[in-house]
A and B are shown apart, each in its own frame.
Chain A
């Protein structure tokens, strides 16, 4: 398909540009790694004081964190739309996007990708293998496929929420601080939801379904059968939220007012 070949053309161009700025790339990967390490230390510190948290052990928590990193890194590589309003609406770059024969959202994904973030996938896998071997988890032949499916679902949940928020820019270009706040809320998804109260749990499942990025899909691999329904809902929730987001986007484009001049 055309879109796939356009995608690879962009990736090729991206790598070429990035390789000429090698130092930048190393710094970026290093700061990502540091950020992930800090989060891991936080979990270790909490479990320095207790051995179980609402029935979840330290290694299980670490496993969930490792899993979370995978869809999150994929999201972070391809959906850098947190500054969409500033970059595309206020500065009028959307004009340029709209004069090209490719879906506008896809173009923005291509223009804003940051493939360095994919390094987080490796970190995530390493963390999962470490925690998984401590827990003595068994892996069947079909588990890698389920893993891929659940990861895609999780990444779509994230993408759906952030694209929906970005579309606000089509209606109002005033500054909001909603994006950084949402990144914070997103972090709650990597801890087991049953440590929160009911309202927060409900919100994280059905309204801002960040729980489908970390704890729900991980529970399948942790063989926590009471959560299996939620685990297998992950791709469905991801798809639904992503489709809602794309629909909102398409409506938003018709409301685009353009920048002055």
Chain B
């Protein structure tokens, strides 16, 4: 399989001017300036093959947006090699962007004042898409995203969910082999999110579209991506299957007890002193969560001791969520490999 994206030692530095404090400082700034160099993306390397759906995650300021902007030709790298769709994105920008689709969740591709279909027509012209290809392909996209009834409304009258579906359709007018999605589901309700995920899966299967997705909503990644690339402070700290990440980190289980009368921490600790348990208080005095190792004797032992001593109204065993795993990774700052 060929590499759609090939990034080697990619680096981006921003030079920024830091002002001195006070009036005296301001005068000094007029003559000599203090520059600080901030490395937003620090020598990252990875490759993505055709047809992959990759989740690109990281906290705010981890370098996600900056690296995506270099991959799409918006920013010029300070150093390193980027080859996307066999081209250098910045050098051959106009030819290159014909082969990608981009959706920035916080920025619109559509014209505010004109009807959605007029926006599509302008984009069709800009991308120089032949009539026949447009008809067949867009009919399918419009149907799957269920935006037929919105086409003659101006964008400013659409709700966020409606607009986002139209944005997605707009990014696919030229049926690009590679799609960049930056926070495509930000602020959307569950139904719209599901619809968008379903659609992305479909175009990935039907056209073999490669998708690179950044999001804060890890359920998007769980639903779509088998592989994740995780960034922290401009460096890649994990690149591999999502499953492996879960297996190596989600070692423990949580048992949630809801008691019929209030319980105290010491009381519970004494009850389960034979096992390694971390107790945490839930939403009220009645709800307590015990974090334990994923070991059957420990789990049944803890449940047995607690239920024998106290009346309980409800009991749940929870797996640690991906979100918590990611949070743990950031707290520890590195990824354990199994």
Residues of A that sit less than 8 Å from B by CB: 2, 5-6, 9-10, 13, 16-17, 92-96, 98-103, 254-258, 261
Number of B positions contacting A (CB below 8 A): 32
Bound-state CA distance A256–B73 (Å) is: 11
Contact A98 B122 (CB under 8 A): no
| CB atoms of B128 and A2 under 8 A apart | yes
Top 5 A-B residue pairs of the complex, sorted by shortest distance between their CB atoms: A99-B102, A101-B98, A98-B74, A9-B125, A254-B76
B75 touches A256 (CB 8 A): yes
Residues in B with CB closer than 8 Å to A255 are 76
CB contact between A261 and one of B65, B76, B108, B128 (< 8 Å): that residue: B65
- B100 on the A face (CB < 8 A): yes
Q: Are A9 and B128 in contact (CB under 8 A)?
A: no
Q: B183: nearest residue on chain A (CB-CB)?
A: A261
The chain B residues found within 8 Å of chain A, CB to CB, are 14, 65-66, 69, 72-76, 90, 93-95, 97-98, 100, 102, 104, 106-109, 111, 113-114, 118, 121-122, 125-128
- B139 smallest CB distance to A (angstroms): 21
Docked CA distance A161–B177 (Å): 40
Residues of A within 8 A of B127 (CB): 100-101
| Bound form: Cα–Cα A100–B72 in Å | 10
From A5, A99, A103, B74 is in contact (CB under 8 Å) with A99
Tell me the nearest residue of chain A to B66, going by C-beta. Answer: A258
Contact of A99 among B14, B76, B97 (CB under 8 A): B97
The answer to whether B121 and A9 have CB atoms under 8 Å apart is yes
Q: How far is the CA of A30 from the CA of B114 in the complex (A)?
A: 25
Q: Which residue of B lies closest to A93 (CB)?
A: B107
Of all chain B residues, the one with the shortest Cβ separation from A95 is B74
Which residue of B has the minimal Cβ distance to A18?
Answer: B113
Whole-angstrom distance between the alpha carbons of A93 and B75 in the complex? 13
State whether B104 touches A9 (Cβ < 8 A).
no
Q: Which residues in A have their C-beta under 8 angstroms from that of B128?
A: 2, 101
Please determine whether B73 and A99 come into contact, CB atoms closer than 8 angstroms: yes
Residues of B within 8 A of A9 (CB): 121-122, 125
Q: Is the CB of B114 within 8 A of A17?
A: yes
Shortest C-beta distance, A101 to chain B (Å), equals 5
Note all chain B residues with C-beta closer than 8 A to A2.
128
Contacts A95-B107, A99-B100 known; 18 new A-B pairs at CB < 8 A:
A13-B118, A17-B113, A17-B114, A92-B107, A95-B69, A95-B74, A96-B107, A96-B108, A98-B72, A99-B102, A101-B94, A101-B126, A102-B94, A256-B74, A257-B14, A257-B75, A258-B65, A258-B75
Rounded to whole angstroms, the CA-CA distance of A6 and B126 in the bound complex is 7
Question: In the docked arrangement, what's the CA distance between A93 and B74, Å?
Answer: 11
- With a cutoff of 8 Å between Cβ atoms, the chain B residues found around residue A102 in the complex are 94, 126
Q: What's the dominant secondary structure at chain A's contact region?
A: helix
| Smallest Cβ-Cβ distance to B101: which chain A residue | A99
CA A261 to CA B74, docked complex, whole Å: 14
Shortest Cβ distance from A107 into B: residue: B126
Between-chain CB contacts (< 8 Å), 16 pairs: A6-B126, A9-B121, A13-B111, A13-B114, A16-B118, A93-B107, A96-B104, A98-B73, A98-B97, A100-B97, A100-B126, A101-B127, A101-B128, A256-B75, A257-B14, A258-B65
Residue of B nearest to A2 (CB): B128
Cα of A93 to Cα of B208 in the assembled complex, Å: 30
Asked whether, in the complex, the Cβ of A5 is within 8 Å of the Cβ of B104, the reply is no
A98, B70: Cα distance in complex, Å: 11
- When distances are taken between beta carbons in the complex, the residues of chain B under 8 Å from A94 are 74
A261 proximity list for chain B (CB < 8 A): 65, 106
Task: Evaluate whether A16 and B114 lie within 8 angstroms (CB atoms) in the complex, with A2-B128, A101-B97, A257-B14 already known.
Answer: yes
B225 to chain A, nearest CB (A): 22
Chain A residues contacting B65 (CB-CB under 8 Å) are 258, 261
Note all chain A residues with C-beta closer than 8 A to B69.
Answer: 95, 258
Q: Which residue of A lies closest to B121 (CB)?
A: A9
Chain B residues whose C-beta falls within 8 Å of the C-beta of A93 in the assembled complex: 107
CB distance from A255 to the nearest CB of B (A): 8
Q: Closest chain B residue to A94 by CB distance?
A: B74
Cβ contact within 8 Å between B93 and A98: yes
Give CA–CA (A180, B113) in the complex, Å: 28
Task: State which of A6, A95, A96, A103 has its C-beta within 8 Å of the C-beta of B125.
Answer: A6
Q: Which residue of B lies closest to A255 (CB)?
A: B76
Residues of B within 8 A of A99 (CB): 72-74, 97, 100, 102
**Contact partners of B90 in chain A: CB under 8 A:** 254
For residue A17, which residues in chain B have a CB less than 8 angstroms away from its CB? 113-114
Q: Which residue of A lies closest to B111 (CB)?
A: A13
The one of A100, A101, A254 in contact with B95, judged by C-beta atoms closer than 8 angstroms, is: A101
- Per the bound structure, the CA–CA distance linking A91 and B112 in Å amounts to 16
Which listed residue (B93, B111, B125) contacts A5, Cβ 8 A?
B125
* CB-CB nearest in chain B for A98: B74
List the B side residues contacting A16 at CB < 8 Å: 114, 118
Instruction: Report the minimum CB–CB distance from A23 to chain B (whole Å).
Output: 15
B229 → A minimal CB distance (Å): 19
Whose C-beta in chain A lies nearest to the C-beta of B174? A101
- Cα separation A78 to B273 with both chains bound (whole Å): 78
Expressed in whole angstroms, the minimum distance between the Cβ of A238 and any Cβ of chain B is 25
Chain A neighbourhood of B111, CB < 8 A: 13
How many Å lie between the Cα of A246 and that of B102 in the bound state?
26
